[in-house]
Amino acid sequence: MEPENQTAVSNFLLLGLSEEKGLQPLLCGLFLAMYLVCVTGNLLIILAVSSDSRLHTPMYFFLSNLSFVDICFTSTTVPNMLVNIQAQNKAITYEGCFTQMYFFMIFSGLDSLLLTVMAYDRLVAICHPLRYMVIMNPRFCGLLLLLSWLICLTYSLLQSLMALRVSFCKETEIPHFFCELAQILKLACSDTFANDLLLYCVTGLLGIIPLSGILYSYSRIVTSIMRISSPGGKCKAFSTCGSHLSVVSLFYGTGLGVYLTSGTAHASREGSVASVMYTVVAPMLNPFIYSLRNKELKGALRRLFQYRSLFSVR
């Protein structure tokens, strides 16, 4: 079949999670609630860290950046989905689809890299506590953050430019609630071997390699913790890592599960439903996971609310 000129494709159709009209109000209310909780919770983390000088440490520096990325991550997909449900319109323009895809890749990659950097931060804090502030100095932390941004901006731009060269057929229905590169490439009429190869390479770069780094870091951390003689010291060390491990398990467990089964379930609605876990649910739960198990953060949030209440009274 000969490919058609891609300029003939003016929009794509996002089929969403369900085509049943009776479920649309429920989906709209559910995703609106999750989005508001996600934005509010992560914004509170950012405000707490920035307003409390006691939290101006590498650990909370990366946590506040993760919260910012999570807000942007969900904002690339959920608002457009809510607008489509309310307007009862599944169409998204060609330009809008590629823009959404570009920013989705940036922030999903940043989530992965920041979780890896945070695992390294915990490794240094537990395995080299006396040298922690020397190794994780502000300059080095800033460089790690800058490097993460540069990697994600570069690979997202490269993949988007390569996808722009692909020609599409008349069939432009995407069985998803947002524009995802893997789904868009399935609609192509032209050869996508180079695109698919780059996609799998990037998935390995920002999925398998960071996860391997996290697993290595925690294997070293567990070994160091087991050498601690006092039970109280072991519990304290485990508590500082428990929140991060929970977030890592939620993000990678659902995210990699979707991408590793992209040839089967991901082609159906099951894949889009599973994607909700790492695109919406994980960013929404992150603030609760970190705040509920962190006394310093809970104290900062308490002081933040007390300050705001005193300010409102005055």
CATH number of the structural domain spanning residue 142: 1.20.1070.10
Query: pLDDT, tens digit, for every residue of 84-127?
Result: 999 888 899 999 999 999 999 999 999 999 999 999 999 999 88
pLDDT computed for residue 36 by the predictor: 97
pLDDT computed for residue 248 by the predictor: 86
Residue 100 placed within a domain: yes
Residue 267 placed within a domain: yes
Residue 261 placed within a domain: yes
- The pLDDT > 70 percentage for the chain reads 88
Which of 42, 45, 70 lies closest to 60, judged by CA?
A: 45
How many structural domains comprise the chain? 1
DSSP 3-state of 140: helix
Residue 2 placed within a domain: no
DSSP 3-state of 93: strand
pLDDT along the chain (314 residues), means of 10: 52 85 89 96 93 91 96 96 90 93 95 94 91 95 97 94 87 86 88 89 83 91 82 70 82 72 52 82 88 80 72 52
pLDDT computed for residue 7 by the predictor: 46
Residue 81 placed within a domain: yes
pTM: 0.89
Residue 169 placed within a domain: yes
Residue 239 placed within a domain: yes
Residue 4 placed within a domain: no
What does the alpha-carbon distance between residue 205 and residue 40 come to, in Å, rounded to a whole number? 31
Please answer whether residues 39 and 71 qualify as being in contact, where contact means their C-beta atoms are separated by less than 8 angstroms. Answer: yes
- The boundaries of the domain holding residue 90 are 9-313
